[in-house]
């Protein structure tokens, strides 16, 4: 049954599997700046969000990157599902609640002189609910970014999952072409069911929304935004963990 959107300060619904096979899934999207900041604070933020899925951007990509990402996952109650250097930065972590069907890391075409981008993707199940998952970090260059937004939608359709969620750092505000393209084809979580705070950059001076979570039609967005008042997390933790604020959503995913 539809659930009313929680107020900005009320908690999001907890993860659960319903009698009809549908599932409430908590998804976190977070740019972690290659874990170059306070990793203990970063782990506290992730843990306090109690996510089933963590869609990471700027995961470590160089020396011992697998070990670093695995250490963060363990410290925050997650396991590494896909991505990292093999997706050129995006990654997916998940809780043990998820049953993993498959994963795939995708490298996008390289533009000379620009950082290569990629997608981390997976198909997972929570009870009777089947969910495609994609983590992205789009280009700083507007034309390349727009092309990547189209590739993202193509890849999402290619996952073969009726219901899917996308999270990422879009490097663009909601009035940009790429952001609008995704928001037209998918449900923008914040627009659909605003909860918490809106702006994701920067932690010291939140003034713009360049990170977002999107869901396909048929998924019920129960609330989405920057979490406020996380238990055991201080404002100093949010500022020192990385240079972005996290986006958290709760989704009701129908049974497959």
Gap between the Cα atoms of 245 and 256, Å rounded: 32
Considering the entire predicted model, what is its pTM? 0.96
Give the residues of the chain that fall short of pLDDT 70. 1-5, 7-9
On whether residue 91 sits in a domain, the answer given is: yes
On whether residue 94 sits in a domain, the answer given is: yes
The per-residue pLDDT for 10 is 81
The per-residue pLDDT for 5 is 58
On whether residue 133 sits in a domain, the answer given is: yes
On whether residue 10 sits in a domain, the answer given is: no
On whether residue 5 sits in a domain, the answer given is: no
| Residue 175 structural domain | 17-253
On whether residue 215 sits in a domain, the answer given is: yes
On whether residue 102 sits in a domain, the answer given is: yes
* Contact partners, residue 48, CB within 8 Å, separation at least 6: 227, 230, 231, 232, 233
User: What CATH number is attached to the domain comprising 168?
Assistant: 3.60.10.10
Q: What is the tally of structural domains in the chain?
A: 1
On whether residue 231 sits in a domain, the answer given is: yes
The per-residue pLDDT for 1 is 40
């Amino acid at each position: 049954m539809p659930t009313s959107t929680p107020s900005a300060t009320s908690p999001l619904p907890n993860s659960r599997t319903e009698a009809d096979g549908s599932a409430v899934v908590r998804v976190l999207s977070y740019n972690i700046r290659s874990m170059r900041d306070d990793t203990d604070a970063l782990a506290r933020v992730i843990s306090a969000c109690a996510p089933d899925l963590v869609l990471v951007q700027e995961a470590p990509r160089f020396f011992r990157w697998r070990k670093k990402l695995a250490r963060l996952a363990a410290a925050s109650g997650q396991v590494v599902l896909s991505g990292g250097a093999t997706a050129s930065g995006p990654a997916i972590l998940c809780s043990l609640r998820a049953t993993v069907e498959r994963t795939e890391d995708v490298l996008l075409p390289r533009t000379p002189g620009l950082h290569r981008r990629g997608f981390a993707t997976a198909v997972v199940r929570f009870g009777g609910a089947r969910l495609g998952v994609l983590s992205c970090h789009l280009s700083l260059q507007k034309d390349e970014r727009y092309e990547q937004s189209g590739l993202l939608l193509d890849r999402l359709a290619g996952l073969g999952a009726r219901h899917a969620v996308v999270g990422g750092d879009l490097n663009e505000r909601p009035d940009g072409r790429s952001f609008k393209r995704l928001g037209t084809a998918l449900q923008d979580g914040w627009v659909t069911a605003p909860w918490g705070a809106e702006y994701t950059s920067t932690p010291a001076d939140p003034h713009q929304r360049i990170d977002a979570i999107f869901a396909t039609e048929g998924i019920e967005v129960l609330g989405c935004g920057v979490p406020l008042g996380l238990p055991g997390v201080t404002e100093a933790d949010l500022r020192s963990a990385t240079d972005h604020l996290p986006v958290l959503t709760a989704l009701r995913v129908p049974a497959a």
